Amino acid sequence: MKTEPAIHFVASQADGAEAKADVLRSRYGQSVIEEANVIVALGGDGFMLRTLHRHLPADLPVYGMKLGEVGFLMNRFREDDLYERLREANRVELNPLRMIAATEGGGESQALAINEVALLRQVNQAAHIRILVNDLVKVEDLVCDGVLVATAAGSSAYNLSVQGPILPLGTDALALTPISPFRPRRWRGAVLPSSVRIRFEILDYYKRPVAATADAQEIRNVISVDVFEDKETALKLMFDPDHSLEQRILDEQFL
């Protein structure tokens, strides 16, 4: 990285982030995305996810700063010493999940998920979902509110809130976790190698429609969803040495 990194600042519309970004732009300069070698994102974890998705084609590392309480994907906000912080930051590369969803209308949509792919019932009736792993049926009929697949980076988010396991970063594993399961009663999910391909088939989808989400992108009335880790795509995040993502995910297991 250059002595003085070429920074492209982006900011959330909440929490006064844009005003803070203007201060940083006047102090450190604002490079256009085509000439930048790092993106600095100001906001929360949700904004960081949107930034990673939006700027994926740029293939640039993203250094997040959160105003207020520090989130999992963000560093502490501080106006001073930004060049030095960027030079000393550790980089983490994450492979997102790729979701391929077929819909009742005959269409097919794809999306990437950094945290999780989740299937959720659209009506008051429980969903009925068949689960296959590498083309082998593992759960014939999961009666539930939904089910999700989480990456290690996302395992401490929605996955944790529905009693899924926290996966340490670098474990090359995925969490497969049911959401409010009714049948089978004793099945509470699985930890799978990140090399697997998971397929969800929606049973009785006319009467019990299901929506699929990849992070914030939603596709409704799906009839099947395939999920696998996209090894060809790498998202680059930057963290201060004393504030690593790996350590924060590990610490979540003791809270």
Contact 148, 179 (CB under 8 A): yes
Known catalytic membership, residue 215: no
Q: Which of 15, 45, 141, 240 is catalytic?
A: 45
How far is residue 58's CA from residue 56's CA, in Å, rounded to a whole number?
Answer: 5
What b/e sequence results for 187-196 when a residue is b if at least 16 CB atoms lie within 10 Å of its CB, and e otherwise?
Answer: eebbebebeb
Dihedral of the CA atoms 72, 187, 143, 193 (nearest 10)? 50
Active site residues: 45
